[in-house]
Copies of this chain bind each other. A is one copy, B any other.
Amino acid sequence: MPLTVAQLSESALLERILPRLQSPHGDPSGVLLGPGDDAALVAAPDGRVLLSVDTQVQDMDFRLQWPNGYRTSGFDVGWKAAAQNLSDINAMGGDATSLVVSLTLPGTTAVGWVEDLADGLTAAIRELGASACSVVGGDLGRGTEISVTAAVTGSLRGRSPVVRSGARPGDVVVLAGTVGRAAAGLALLESSHGYGSLGADLLRLVECQCRPRPPLQAGPAAAQAGATAMMDISDGLVRDAHRLASASSVRVDFHPEALKSLSSPLVAAAGLLDADPLEWVLGGGEDHGLLATVNPNVMPLAGFTAVGSIKAGHAEVTVGSEPPANVGWDHFAD
């Protein structure tokens, strides 16, 4: 039997976690006071701090064992906790500066799973390129289900925040990162197609669900280039674009051919599962791609692809100026 968290005191568990949260080259210089006191102290060089929070709950946001046989590792959950929080800062045009992480764990949770979670947090911060960020504190507690909440701070480094309400008719709608792949990966995890039987292309879709890779360089670059509106796609392209449309009082019109090309990496998975790849593109969110609007004169914008345009009119989302009628709109309604 593996060692469980019920067999360790809080401080003994912390002693196993904290060394795994160290940055590879020591704490970034912005960490003025790390774990060990009632609060951490982090630099906010331009006198402002971005702040967000996200939670993952077992059986709601991930399953420990998926129908296709894949077992979610602590590494996956730690990675995703970091990724989705770092993405929120990216979406404002900022660089993440710190994370605090609260873990709620059943007593039966293996200590190794929790150590793995710490490794996943650290790996995501490093591999996604959030070089100014580290984990500066947290909270440990018990519950009947695993729940992981991270809060993140970020710095705009003097830039203006890019909000959802600034899109104007005539702007180009651009996308960085991917969309629909995490949803395809989720469908594979929920299917009866054994995890061990999947080829490399399909495994990459599963990985996109379990370890998303938000394009962290794209947010600050878009802010610098004068993006008029921005948000990350966490709940689905249409649903999130509808929020941007509402905040900006404009219509977001996607180009059908752009959506088609976004769906092409999903065709094989869709064939296997008898699914429509366009539904994943329109409804899938957890890739944490970045949706922005920019004045046409800043195009091309490195890292982004044009996927639509902003039109005057009611706050709505269209595809080729038509309602996205055949793609299960109801699933995506607020």
Chain A residues within 8 Å of B, Cβ to Cβ = 9-11, 32-33, 36-55, 57-61, 87-89, 91-92, 94, 98, 100-102, 104, 136-139, 141-145, 147, 149, 151-154, 156, 161, 163-164, 231-232, 247, 333-334
CA A240 to CA B36, docked complex, whole Å = 12
Chain B nearest Cβ from A45, distance in angstroms: 6
Contact B37 A143 (CB under 8 A): no
If over half of A's interface residues share one DSSP class (helix, strand or loop), that class is named, otherwise mixed; here it is strand
**How many copies of this chain does one complex carry?**
2
Which residue of B is nearest A151, CB measured?
B151
Provide the bound-state CA to CA distance between A164 and B35, in Å. 11
Contact B141 A38 (CB under 8 A): no
CA distance A59 to B142 in the complex (A): 10
Residue contacts A-B, CB under 8 angstroms, 30 given: A9-B333, A32-B48, A32-B161, A36-B247, A37-B92, A37-B163, A37-B231, A39-B51, A39-B92, A39-B154, A39-B161, A40-B50, A40-B51, A41-B92, A41-B161, A42-B48, A44-B48, A44-B49, A46-B47, A47-B47, A51-B100, A51-B136, A52-B100, A53-B137, A55-B104, A57-B147, A59-B144, A60-B142, A60-B143, A61-B141
Complex Cα spacing A57 to B142, Å: 8
Q: Take A88-B39, A147-B104, A151-B100 as given contacts and tell me if A141 and B55 are in contact as well, using a CB distance cutoff of 8 Å.
A: yes
With both chains docked as a complex, state the minimum distance between the C-beta of A328 and any C-beta of chain B, in angstroms: 16
Determine whether the beta carbon of B247 is less than 8 Å from that of A57: no
Q: How far is the CB of A296 from chain B (nearest CB, A)?
A: 24
